[in-house]
Chains A and B, each alone.
Chain A
Amino acid sequence: MADHSQHHIVPKSTYYLIFTALMLGTGLTWWIATIDLGAMNNVIMLSIAVTKATLVILFFMHVKYSPKLTGTVIIGAVFWLLIMLVMTMNDYFTRDWLHFG
């Protein structure tokens, strides 16, 4: 029992690689922010943020190596968050479409 580890040990090289990707992502976000791409600025910056968050969750937080149950909890939490954000914004973005009588 003493010679097998309870959990997968992620090699340090993976951590360094993810760290580099996160730093590059931060630099990229800053650079994108200075260029005028109209509405795309938001889309790109948030896409980079989502990618960075995913890398942190999968590798730093070991979810890639964890039981499926952990992934289910995260997907559930994000789904609940999206219910709140998307359905509320659905209302706010479409209010001025309505012109009754």
Chain B
Amino acid sequence: MSNAASVAHDEQQHHPRLAHHFESLEQQTDSSLFGMWIFLATEILFFGGALMAYMIYRRWYPDAFALASSHIAILPGAINTAVLIISSLTMALAVHAAQTGERGKILFFIVVTMILGAAFLGIKGYEYYEKYAEGFIPGLGLEFRFPEPEYAKNAQIFFSIYFVLTGLHALHMIVGLGLMTWMFIWVKDGVIDTQYYAPIEIVGLYWHFVDIVWIFLFPLLYLIGRHVHHG
């Protein structure tokens, strides 16, 4: 780079968070966001694999799947859907505050998002306990007590997929809470400023992705049998 150019971009060149292999903070931000999207592409295919298993078994055993799904209480799942959508809004508002440089608001919205995330996991834990109490846990040496014994065998496949998909989703939520704790500290320590807020944006992308996964899991796991089995 010529001397004139480096003088012209002097201030930006010396941003403490600008890595030496990038020309400008803007280029660095674009690159890191692009990298995050590539990662999310792999995540789409990761969850896609589990979704593939769901589709194949549902194609094989549609009646058992509809019946098993109708035994899941909708309300906690619907509340959790709302909780996640609200948390996506607060996450978007955290990024907005980062762009406008309102540090107090970033911290506030990160904390609210984390509380909502924790609430989601709490409700999910309650649902898991309910499944345990009702005898809907496949494997682990537990007795699988399905009300319609003729479908019990294939209903176990549904509940196996239910636990894998919701479990992987919950694991992503826990990782998200960790990332947000990290961001909270970075905002508090002044690492994040109006020039350098890409980390907040990236954590936001991750959180919205986890929300999108749930947008698909809710109808596929909770609602497929409702119109045939009113329970």
Contacts and interface: CB of A to CB of B under 8 A. Distances in A.
B189 interface: no
A15 B9 contact: no
Interface in A9-44: 9-10, 12, 15-16, 19, 22-23, 26, 29-30, 33-37, 41-42
B78 interface: yes
Contacts of B195: 2, 6
B45 A19 contact: no
Give the bracket for the number of chain A residues in contact with chain B: 35 or more
Interface of B is mostly: helix
Contacts of A2: 11, 195
B112 interface: no
A15 B33 CA distance: 20
A30 to B, nearest CB: 6
A98 interface: no
A35 B55 CA distance: 22
A80 interface: yes
Give the bracket for the number of chain B residues in contact with chain A: 35 or more
Given A9-B99, A73-B38, A1 B208 contact: no
Contacts of A60: 88-89, 91-92, 204, 208, 211
A9 B40 contact: no
Contacts of A59: 92
Given A60-B92, A73-B38, A34 B227 contact: yes
